[in-house]
Amino acid sequence: SGPNPYGMLVTRTCPSSLRFNTQADRCDYAQNVQCFDPQI
């Protein structure tokens, strides 16, 4: 989750085995995502 290009907060939900990849704008494998908090 986070602000979109228009400054609005957007929440994304992915299956538990995936993380949201902000660069690709989709759910992706954890090794492909730069995540600062592994609990997110």
Provide the residue ranges of all domains of the chain, joining segments of one domain with +.
Answer: 2-30
Q: Are 14 and 32 in contact (CB under 8 A)?
A: no
Q: Is the confidence at residue 40, as pLDDT, over 60?
A: no
- C-alpha triplet 36, 6, 29: angle, nearest 5°: 35
The overall pTM is greater than 0.85: no
Measure CA of the first residue to CA of the last residue in the chain; give whole Å. Answer: 9
Give dist(CA 14, CA 28) in Å, integer. 8
Sign of torsion, CA 39 34 25 31?
Answer: negative
For 13-26, write each residue's pLDDT tens digit: 999 999 999 888 89
Q: Look at strands 9-10 and 2-3 and give their pairing.
A: antiparallel
